[in-house]
Amino acid sequence: MEPSEERGAIAVEMTAIRRDFGSVTALGGVDATFRRGEIHAVLGANGAGKTTLMRILAGLDRPDDGDVRIDGSSVTTFDPGLARDLGIALVQQHFTLVPTLTAGENLVLARPLGRLRPDRRAVRERLADLVDRFGLDVRGDVGAGELSVGEQQRLELLRALDADAEVLVLDEPTAVLTDTEADQLLAVCRDLADDGRSVVIITHRLGEVFSGCDRVSVLRAGEAVMTDVPVGETTRASLATAMIGSDATGTFSDRDRTPAEVPNGAPARARLVVTGLSSGQLDGIGLEVAAGEILGVAGVDGNGQSDLEAVLCGRIAPMAGGVEIDGVPLDVGNPGSSASAGIAYIPSDRYRHGLVRAMDLSENLELGRTRRIRRPRRQRHLAAAERLDDWNVRSAGPAARAASLSGGNAQKLVLARELDHEPGVVIACYPTRGLDPSAASSVADRLIDRAASGAAVLWIGAELDELFAVSDRIVVLSRGHIAGEFVPEFDRHAVGLAMTDWRVASSSAAGASG
């Protein structure tokens, strides 16, 4: 990259950065350049390596190989304190404020100016000073935990600026903000850049790139697909393609989709109907899944998937809207009724929501379906041993604790519990997450099998290739809305666009399906 006038001068240059976590390559030789006076967007889908790259820059992680230069001098020690002294500040995706301390006290905690705890007035003045200087409004009289999400974000920003950051990295700053707040944040970033700082925004929203950024880099699966390209030279389409890729590389072969999968050739009836559902991020969404159908729910993580999961399994009662199973309204907010309505639930976090690790395998097979009076242990173990065998769960037997299972076998245990009794509706949340290819495809086969025998399957997934292979239909969830609905042959490009910007995509999707 050629050095130029002061605006646009290179502040950070990262070359051939490599980082492996065990056998997983998070970054496979990535280049990145960030310039003064500019806002730089780093785009990428989940797991593309964006956060790892920025953690390395902020000294929170070290590269296995590669070179990091800040203002032209090479960094050899990766240490958060050192990075801060060099002017790098990272605002992480998950806030790191102490909820019981006030805004000012959080500033003091992050960067104490002396050995003694300063008096209240000094703390207040320090905050007021920063608020004035940068025009970021934060209340100073309540604990940080009581601040709104937007305020917390501004406080994180102030804390970074308090340390005189020259390079400000924001990890998905708009993910938790309303649209207005997001616009305000971008305006603030523009001011900071105009002061000669370099602002880096990690995001997966294309709209923000065009409304607020100067240059863009795109990562995909640990590789830089686009590096330091002026935003004017890109289009939504080229960025979406760069993020999602255009080549199918899935381990799944397409399943045969034949209408005859519906038993007896009867017309497919909707078994799962969701209407006007609002909960958390979800903003009045509607879905229908027919008998024998697999509906894929695509989307970048954190766009309402977890809220959908929580409502459908009965963990949380929604603010508005309802769920019907085979025409019968579901008693939402009651996990027991979800189970007895015939919903099989495969949770996204199987250890947290799916299994009781300290209990043995036979008892885990009962979770949610315990008889009032349970059978004697010997009988339970005999029945469980058979079921574990059927579902190919490799274990030390029914008396082994669930904690002793590997990830793939733990998932098979959940399937053995949820799918063994011909469920009417299956809610599968990232069912292949963390599994090796053979385990993943056996899990997928089991789900396809249930659909074939008449169940309605809702498959919330992250990997498009996988969803394309298994789904009869795909909806895209973005910012709590259904941003598009797609049928085979799936247009990778259109789905990618819907995932990154729901307003644009909903119009183009309407065109595609109409």
Partner 1 sequence: MSLGVGAVEAPTGPIGRVLGRSVSSGAVAAVLVPVVAAVAALAVGAVLIGLTTGDPIGVYADVIDGIFFAPRGLSDTATTATPILLIALGYAFAYRARVFTIGAEGHYLVGMVASVGLITSGLLRDLPGPLLIVVGLLAGAAAGAAWSALSGVLFVRFGASVVISSLMLVYIAEAVLQWANRVGIRDPESFVPASRSVGAATLPIVPGLDVHLGFLIAVAIVPVMAWVFARHRLGYRVRALGDNPEALDANDVPAGRIVIAVLLVSGALAGLAGFIEIAGVNGRINDSASLGYGFTAIVVALVGRLNPVGVLVAALALGALDIGFEVAARSSDLPTSMAGLIQVLVVVFVVGGDALVERFHGTGAR
Kindly list the residues in this chain that would bind partner 1 in the complex (CB under 8 A): 313-315, 333-336, 339, 345, 347, 352-359, 363, 366-368, 370-377, 401, 403
What is the C-alpha separation between 415 and 453, in angstroms, rounded?
16
> Closest CB to partner 1 among 198 and 306?
306
| Lookup: tokens for 156 | 């994180």
Please count the CA atoms within 13 angstroms of the CA of 266 that sit on its side-chain side: 10
The separation between CA 210 and the C-alpha centre of its own chain, rounded to angstroms, equals 22
Q: How far is the CB of 340 from partner 1 (least distance, A)?
A: 11
The residue with tokens 């790892």 is: 52
Confirm if 74 and 49 have CB atoms less than 8 A apart. no
Q: How far is the CB of 475 from partner 1 (least distance, A)?
A: 23
Q: How far is the CB of 339 from partner 1 (least distance, A)?
A: 6
> Closest CB to partner 1 among 314 and 423?
314
- End-to-end Cα distance, the chain: 46
> Closest CB to partner 1 among 306 and 500?
306
Bridge partners (DSSP) of residue 223 are: 220
Q: Which of 192, 177, 191, 268 lies closest to 479, judged by CA?
A: 177
Spatial neighbors of 115 by CB under 8 A, at least 6 apart, are: none
| Lookup: tokens for 398 | 């029914």
Q: Which of 146, 9, 166 lies closest to 83, judged by CA?
A: 166
- Would you tell me how many other CB atoms lie within 10 Å of the CB of residue 263? 11
User: What is the sign of the dihedral through the CA atoms of 204, 210, 215 and 220?
Assistant: positive
Q: How far is the CB of 372 from partner 1 (least distance, A)?
A: 5
What is the C-alpha separation between 427 and 418, in angstroms, rounded?
10
> Closest CB to partner 1 among 174 and 348?
348
Q: How far is the CB of 412 from partner 1 (least distance, A)?
A: 17
| Lookup: tokens for 9 | 């001068």
Angle in degrees, CA 352, 355, 356, rounded to 5? 95
The separation between CA 82 and the C-alpha centre of its own chain, rounded to angstroms, equals 30
Q: How far is the CB of 29 from partner 1 (least distance, A)?
A: 35
Q: How far is the CB of 233 from partner 1 (least distance, A)?
A: 47
Q: How far is the CB of 416 from partner 1 (least distance, A)?
A: 14
The separation between CA 363 and the C-alpha centre of its own chain, rounded to angstroms, equals 32
Q: How far is the CB of 403 from partner 1 (least distance, A)?
A: 8
